[in-house]
């Protein structure tokens, strides 16, 4: 494809992108990148890591080793496997805690994201006649909306009254921190927001909003599905009450992978209501088979069932990568990549019905740029064109948002150049 094919020259050049990658290569060699179905290159330019991360190459080897322990040891694998199954979940606790800025006692890997949110809201959403509202963003991921509405109904409340949905100001796409704070009145029982908004890519001011929620007398929890593995987090220092996150996006642990949960240590060992099960009791007394649980003074008390070992294996492999590389290092590369992509898009969007709705300030976004498309284009159709004609995989949120996630672990500057080049070719210039 030539510059004439695109209607105008894409800012920068392929040579420049390749030179940047030579100096700043990331860890792409550690991942399996799908082959391209279209375009001029053998591999796709993959920008859907905010939906499903790529597979680390080590995942297959590590998972097969855990499977082989089952074949060779049977039930004895609970204690005699190289990575014994009985305490297996403990292998994930410390690295998960480091990733989200928590104490190991505050962190547990279990279940899926929405299940964890429900288990945590059993403890932390305790509505009264005077204080019963839940504050979420209007553009929250749908499962969060479903979860909080069902919690309100469970407590006998009208969800249309109990749920406060925060909308950006007219003409804006993202929430301002002050507008969130202004809605935290004496009737708010729970604030539950996305740390990074899935649609716009906006990174919320987690410490400021948490402090404001506490000052208003509310409990503050966070859905970190798009934040964990994307941006540095300091949950303990920020005094967050609880949080939950999935591990199949930026944490690259596979479709439907196990999620994480966090409970601040001040809530351990108290009288909060909580659902319990086989794994909610102290490990040392678990096999006494007593009729009453003896919950530990840690986030482990929120566990219900014994963990699925073969689902934990890919999470462990991923967390080892983050431990080895470091989230602060990845954040620096993320900001470089995202800024580079932003600069490329700035060269093509003024003449096309494309508008970047993600905040331009690096501190207010993660590894994502969301583009609103106009001119009668639909996001899904545009993403199909990008994929099958140009080998660029982006994520569509209908009707009109295309999300591009330059993930610092495996994305390249050359991928960014390919994405801008493909958009320039696929979206006609306006008259």
- Domains of the chain in start order, with CATH, are 3-32+326-426 (3.90.1150.10), 61-325 (3.40.640.10)
- Give dist(CA 155, CA 190) in Å, integer: 14
The full DSSP string for 140-170 is: --HHHHHHHHHHHHHTT--HHHHEEEE-PPT
Degrees (nearest 5) of the Cα angle 215, 221, 223? 145
Looking at residue 287, its pLDDT comes to: 86
pLDDT along the chain (431 residues), means of 10: 42 91 96 91 97 98 97 97 96 98 98 98 98 97 97 98 98 97 97 98 98 98 98 98 98 98 95 92 88 93 95 98 98 98 96 97 98 96 97 97 98 98 95 74
Give 265: exposed, middle or buried? Use CB within 10 Å, 0-12, 13-18, 19+.
middle
In the block, which residue shows the tokens 């939906």?
Answer: 51
Longest dimension (CA), the chain: 76
- Category of 101 on φ-ψ map: left (φ > 0), alpha (ψ -120 to 50) or beta: left
Which of 427, 428, 223, 228 is CA-nearest to residue 327?
Answer: 228
> Are 233 and 262 in contact, with CB atoms under 8 Å apart?
no
List the structure tokens of 113. Answer: 């994201």
Show the DSSP H helices in 352-412 as ranges. Answer: 379-390
Rounded to a whole number of angstroms, the distance between the first and last alpha carbons of the chain is 22
> Are 47 and 405 in contact, with CB atoms under 8 Å apart?
yes
- Give dist(CA 238, CA 275) in Å, integer: 26
Looking at residue 285, its pLDDT comes to: 84
Looking at residue 12, its pLDDT comes to: 77
List the structure tokens of 395. Answer: 């994520």
Q: Look up the pTM and report it.
A: 0.95
Looking at residue 10, its pLDDT comes to: 59
- Give dist(CA 209, CA 203) in Å, integer: 12
- Give dist(CA 209, CA 280) in Å, integer: 31
The full DSSP string for 17-35 is: HHHHHHHS-TTGGGEE-PB
Which of 32, 29, 36, 22 is CA-nearest to residue 422?
Answer: 36
> Are 260 and 312 in contact, with CB atoms under 8 Å apart?
no
Does the N-terminal peptide bond of residue 305 adopt cis geometry, omega within 30 degrees of 0?
no
The contacts of residue 208 (CB under 8 Å, 6+ apart) are: 177, 181
| DSSP 8-state code for residue 188 | E
Which of 394, 117, 113, 310 is CA-nearest to residue 228?
Answer: 113
Q: Give the torsion sign (CA, 96, 101, 107, 113).
A: negative
In the block, which residue shows the tokens 């399996």?
Answer: 32
Looking at residue 11, its pLDDT comes to: 63
């Amino acid at each position: 494809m030539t510059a004439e094919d695109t209607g105008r020259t894409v800012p920068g050049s392929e040579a420049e992108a390749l030179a940047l990658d030579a100096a700043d290569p990331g860890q792409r060699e550690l991942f399996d990148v799908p082959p391209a179905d279209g375009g001029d290159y053998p591999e796709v330019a993959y920008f859907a890591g905010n939906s499903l991360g790529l597979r680390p190459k080590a995942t297959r080897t590590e998972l097969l080793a855990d499977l082989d322990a089952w074949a060779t040891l049977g039930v004895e694998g609970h204690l005699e496997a190289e990575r014994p199954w009985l305490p297996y979940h403990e292998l994930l606790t410390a690295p998960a805690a480091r990733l989200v800025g928590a104490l190991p006692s505050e962190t547990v890997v279990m279940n899926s994201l929405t299940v964890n949110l429900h288990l945590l809201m059993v403890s932390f959403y305790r509505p009264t006649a005077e204080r019963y509202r839940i504050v979420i963003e209007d553009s929250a991921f749908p499962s969060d909306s479903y979860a909080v509405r069902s919690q309100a109904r469970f407590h006998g409340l009208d969800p249309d009254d109990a749920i406060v949905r925060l909308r950006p100001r007219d003409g804006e796409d993202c929430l301002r921190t002050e507008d969130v704070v202004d809605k935290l009145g004496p009737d708010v029982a729970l604030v539950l927001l996305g740390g990074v908004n899935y649609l716009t890519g906006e990174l919320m001011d987690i410490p400021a909003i948490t402090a404001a929620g506490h000052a208003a007398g509310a409990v503050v929890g966070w859905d970190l599905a798009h934040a964990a593995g994307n941006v540095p987090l300091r949950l303990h220092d920020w005094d967050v009450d609880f949080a939950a996150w999935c591990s199949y996006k930026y944490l690259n642990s596979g479709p439907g992978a196990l999620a994480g949960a966090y409970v601040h240590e001040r809530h351990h060992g108290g009288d909060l209501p909580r659902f319990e099960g086989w794994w909610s009791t102290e490990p040392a007394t678990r096999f006494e088979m007593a009729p009453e649980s003896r919950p530990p003074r840690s986030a482990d008390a929120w566990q219900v069932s014994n963990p699925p070992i073969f689902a934990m294996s890919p999470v462990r492999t991923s967390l080892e990568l983050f431990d080895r590389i470091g989230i602060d290092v990845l954040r620096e590369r993320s900001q470089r990549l995202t800024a580079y992509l932003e600069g490329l898009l700035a060269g093509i969007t003024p003449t096309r019905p494309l508008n970047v709705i993600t905040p331009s300030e690096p501190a207010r976004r993660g590894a994502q740029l969301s583009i609103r498309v106009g001119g009668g284009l639909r996001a899904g159709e545009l993403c199909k064109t990008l994929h099958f004609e140009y080998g660029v995989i982006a994520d569509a949120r209908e009707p009109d948002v295309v999300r591009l996630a330059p993930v610092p672990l495996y994305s390249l500057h050359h991928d960014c150049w390919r994405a801008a080049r493909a958009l320039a070719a696929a979206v006609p210039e306006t008259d």
